[in-house]
Chains A and B, each alone.
Chain A
Amino acid sequence: MSAFLSSFVAPIVLASSSLADATSEPARPATEPQIVEQRESDVIDSERMPALTLAPRFDSLRVGAGVRLNRVDSAGFDAFADNDWLAQLSLDATYAFYTPGRLAVASGIAWDFGERSSNARGQSTRLAVHRLSIPIEARWYFAPWLHVSGKVAPGAVAYKVRVDDASSTQPLTRAPWGLAVDISVGAGVRLLGGGKDYDPRRGRIWLTTELGYGATSSADPSPAPNRDASDVLGSDEPTQLRRLSVGGAFLRTGLALSF
C-alpha cells in the first residue's frame, strides 16, 4: 500500500511545484508603469501551454446512477433465481475531500437495490437485496477527461425474502441483515461538460465502470408466515432454506454527474 501511495505522491509534488511556477508569473503586480517592447516569446498563449504542467480540475461533488451486475455464488441464492446473476440499481453520492494534485479522495454514501424472483419447485419466491455502504474512493486523473479509481465500500446488506407456499395461508417472509464490503477498481471517462480545466465550476457527465468483488456475510433467510400472533396456532416455524449471501464479483457501469 505504501508503494502504491508513493507512486501517487511523487507526481503530485511535481505537479504542485509546476502549478506554483505557472501561476506566479501572471500574478506578479506591476509597481510602476513600464513600457516594454513585447517580444513574441513573452506572450502567454494558453492554447500552447503543455497540459501536464497544469493541475486538473477536480469536481468536488459527484452523484452517480448505474447498474451493478453481481455474480452470486451462494447456493442459497438458487431458491430465488434461476441463474447466478443479480442486477441492481446503484446510486451513490460522494464528496472529494482530499485533492492533492491529480489525486482525489472522495467518500459518501451508496445504495444498491436489486430483486430476483423465481419458482422453487413450483412455489413463487422473491428476494430483494438492499446494500447500503460508505464508499471511500481514490481517483487518479491521467487527463482531465479520464481517471482510474480504487474503491473500498464497507456497509450492510439487507435481504428481503418471500416464498409463496400453498401450505401456508400467509406468504413466508423474513428480512435478515448482514455485513458487506466491496473492493473494486474502475475508470471514468468524461462524456459531457468539458471545457478547459480552469473553467469555473460546472456540471460534467462521466461514464464510469468498476470491476470488483463484493463480500457479504451469509444470513439465514429461513422465512415463516408473517401472521398476527393471535392467529398463530402454537408457533410457526421457519422453513429452513440454505444460508444466503450475495457476495461475488461484480461489474458496475453508470453515469455520474460531477460539479
Chain B
Amino acid sequence: MTRGAFVAVCVFSSLVACGARPSIYDASIGQVRAYGLSESVVVVDDNAHRAVVLSALTDQGLGRSALPLGKGVLKAEASADGQRLFVLSRGDTTRKRESDEKPSLTVIENGAARIFPLESPHSGLSIDPLGRWVAIFAAPVVTSAPVQASFVENPNEIVLVDLTAPGETAVTPRTLRSFGGLPQRVSFTPQLLLPGGPRRLMVVETDQDVALLDLDNVRATPRRPEITVRLAGGTSAIPNRPGGFVVDDGDPTRNDDARLGIRLENSPNVVSLTLVASALGATTEDPSQVPNDFRADVNLADVGGIPGDIVFVRTNAGLRLAAVVPSMKRAVLVDLDTSVTTTVDLPEAYAKFALITNVVGGSGGDTALLYGSGGARGVAFWSLGRAAGQPYRSVEVISLATPVASVLDVPPPRPELKILQGTTANSFYGLNLVTRTASPLTTLAAASLVVSRDGERLWAFERGRTSLAQVSLSDLHPLPVPLDRPIDAVFDVARIGGGRSLIALDARGAVGATVLDAGAPDTAASRSYYGLLLEDL
C-alpha cells in the first residue's frame, strides 16, 4: 500500500453516516394540560403522544410514569369521582400504513391506559357520573372550542362507549333522528323506574329539541328509536333552545311518574316531561324498529321570565318544579299536574339553585340555596316546607359584599360547608349551611380555590405566582405556604402508603412540581422536581 492510498483510506473511513435520535426529543412541549385524579395527576403531553402520571409517594416523593396516548388530543376530561381520565385523539390525519393510528378514546385508570379505536374523530365528550357510559359526539361550535375534528362530521351521531363491556361490543354508534338541531349537551340520568322496568336514559339537548335514548336497550335487536321532544313553538320559526334539564324519579313505588324538567334559554316557559307507558299498539316510523315501552307526556308552564335555573323540589304541597327568574327577582313553583304556578318574591336576583336538603334537612320539604352572579349579593336559604302556604316567610338571606360567582361543594365529612367565590373582589367565603353563617376570607389577589377530596382543607393560590395557602376547613384557619416558583395548578391527591400530598405544578419549560405533605404543609420538608416532561423519553 502506498502512503497516498493509506491516507485516502483514513479519510474515507471518517466519512460515515450519522444515526438520528427518536423524534420525541424534537417534539415541542406545547400547552400543558394537567388533570387531577383521586390518586394522581395526569399531564397530557400531546406532542409526545403520551400522558405522564404523577403519583404522590411517602416523604414528598413523586412517582413518574408514562402511558401512551393517541396522536392529536382533541379533548380530555376527568370523571367527577377522580377515578378516570378520558382522552379523545384524532390519530394520524392521513393513514399511510396499517400501523398508523386511528382516532381513539383512551381511558386512564389505576395507572393503566385502555384504548378504544374509533371510526372518526370527535371533539365532544360526556361522562356518565355513575361510571358506565361515555358519550362521544361533535362538540358544538363555539368560539373557545376546538375546530371541527374532521372534514365532514355528523353532529347527530353519538358514539356510546360502555366501559363495562368487552372491547368488541363496547362501542355503539347511534345517529339521532334530526329536525335540523345540533347537539349541545349529552347527559345521563340516574336509574329511573319506568313502565318497562328500571332504566337509565341518555338525554341529548340540541339547539332546538331534546332526545331521550334508552341505554339499557341501546344494543337491542330490533332497534328501539330515541324519543325526540321538539321544543319549537308551533307558530314561530325561532326554536326554543334547551338550557339544561333536571330529573326526578318520583314516588319509588310508582313506575309512571318519573319526570324531566327542561329549562329554555330563550323562553319564559319551562317544560316537564312525564315518562309514562307507551300506548297500546304503538308503532314506529321505521318498520325495522320496535317502539319503546315508555313515552313522554309534555307540559309547559310560564314562569314569567327566562329562568336562570330549575330544580325539582319537594314542598309541603308536593313535588314541584322550581324555577328561579333573576330578571323578575322571583322564584316560581310549578305544579306538575295542573301547571299552576306559585310565585315567591326574592330580595336579590338570584340565578342558581343548589339543593341542600341532604345536609341541613328540611321541615316538610326541601331546602335550597339560592345564589347567582347576576347582581345578586349574597345567598339565600329557601325553605320549601312552607313555600306553598307562606312563601313570603320561606326565604332567609345572608348578605355578602359581593355577588357569588360559583359555589364549591365540600365532600364528606364536611358537606355542611360550601365555599362561595365572589365575582371580582379578593375574597371568598366559607358558608356553613347548618349554622347559616358565612365567614369571609380575604386575599391579596384573585385566588384560585381547590377543595381537597377528603373535605379537610382548601387550597388557595394565585395563578402564575408563588402565593399559596392552606385553609383548614375545620376552623377556617389559613396557613401561608408560599413557594419559590410560579404555581399553575395545585392537586390534593391521596398518597401511596397513606396520607395526602399536595402537588403544585409549574408549567414553565418542561414542567416542574413541588410536593408538600397536604396534612402538614412545611416548605422546609418539601421536594421540588424539574423537567418532568424530559423524563422517560
- Considering residues B6, B24, B27, B47, which has the most beta carbons from chain A within 10 angstroms of its beta carbon? B6
- Minimum distance in angstroms from B491 CB to a CB of chain A: 16
Asked if A123 and B509 make an inter-chain contact with CB atoms under 8 angstroms apart, the answer reads yes
Question: How many angstroms from the CA of A235 to the CA of B528 in the assembled complex?
Answer: 6
- Minimum distance in angstroms from B294 CB to a CB of chain A: 54
Query: CB-CB < 8 A to A211: which residues of B?
Result: 13
Question: How many angstroms from the CA of A253 to the CA of B11 in the assembled complex?
Answer: 9
Asked if B535 and A168 make an inter-chain contact with CB atoms under 8 angstroms apart, the answer reads no
Is A122 part of the contact surface with B, judged by Cβ < 8 Å? yes
Is B483 part of the contact surface with A, judged by Cβ < 8 Å? yes
Q: Which of B10, B21, B530, B535 contacts A224 (CB 8 A)?
A: B530
Q: Known contacts A79-B25, A79-B537; decide if A167 and B14 are in contact (CB<8 Å).
A: no
In the complex, identify which listed stretch (B101-109, B238-246, B510-518) lies at the interface while the others stay far away: B510-518
Asked if B528 and A83 make an inter-chain contact with CB atoms under 8 angstroms apart, the answer reads no
Asked if A81 and B531 make an inter-chain contact with CB atoms under 8 angstroms apart, the answer reads no
Query: CB-CB < 8 A to A83: which residues of B?
Result: 18-21
Contact with A along B473-511 (1 / 0, CB 8 A): 000000000011100000000000000000000101111
- Minimum distance in angstroms from A130 CB to a CB of chain B: 22
In the complex, identify which listed stretch (B171-179, B261-269, B519-527) lies at the interface while the others stay far away: B519-527
Q: Which residue of A lies closest to B18 (CB)?
A: A83
Asked if A120 and B25 make an inter-chain contact with CB atoms under 8 angstroms apart, the answer reads yes
Q: In the complex, which range does the number of interface residues on chain A fall in?
A: 35 or more
Question: How many angstroms from the CA of A85 to the CA of B532 in the assembled complex?
Answer: 26
Is B206 part of the contact surface with A, judged by Cβ < 8 Å? no
In the complex, identify which listed stretch (A9-17, A45-53, A102-110, A238-246) lies at the interface while the others stay far away: A238-246
Is B28 part of the contact surface with A, judged by Cβ < 8 Å? yes
Contact with B along A118-150 (1 / 0, CB 8 A): 111111000000000000000000000110000
- Minimum distance in angstroms from A73 CB to a CB of chain B: 8
- Minimum distance in angstroms from B117 CB to a CB of chain A: 28
Asked if A123 and B510 make an inter-chain contact with CB atoms under 8 angstroms apart, the answer reads yes
Asked if B483 and A233 make an inter-chain contact with CB atoms under 8 angstroms apart, the answer reads yes
Query: CB-CB < 8 A to A187: which residues of B?
Result: 6
Query: CB-CB < 8 A to B483: which residues of A?
Result: 233
Asked if A168 and B536 make an inter-chain contact with CB atoms under 8 angstroms apart, the answer reads no
- Minimum distance in angstroms from A84 CB to a CB of chain B: 4
Q: Which residue of B lies closest to A233 (CB)?
A: B484
Asked if B21 and A237 make an inter-chain contact with CB atoms under 8 angstroms apart, the answer reads no
Question: How many angstroms from the CA of A253 to the CA of B15 in the assembled complex?
Answer: 12
Q: Which residue of B lies closest to A224 (CB)?
A: B530
Asked if A236 and B528 make an inter-chain contact with CB atoms under 8 angstroms apart, the answer reads yes
Question: How many angstroms from the CA of A166 to the CA of B531 in the assembled complex?
Answer: 8
Cβ < 8 Å to A, chain B residues 40-57: 47-48
- Minimum distance in angstroms from A67 CB to a CB of chain B: 8
Asked if B28 and A121 make an inter-chain contact with CB atoms under 8 angstroms apart, the answer reads yes
Asked if A233 and B13 make an inter-chain contact with CB atoms under 8 angstroms apart, the answer reads no
Which residues of B approach A to under 8 Å, CB–CB? 3, 6-7, 10, 13-14, 16, 18-22, 24-29, 47-48, 60, 62, 64, 483-485, 506, 508-512, 514, 523-537
Report the 3 A-B pairs with minimum CB-CB distance, sorted nearest first: A166-B509, A167-B512, A234-B526
**With contacts A123-B510, A167-B530, A189-B6 known, what are 6 further pairs, Cβ within 8 A?**
A78-B25, A122-B510, A123-B531, A165-B534, A166-B510, A237-B529
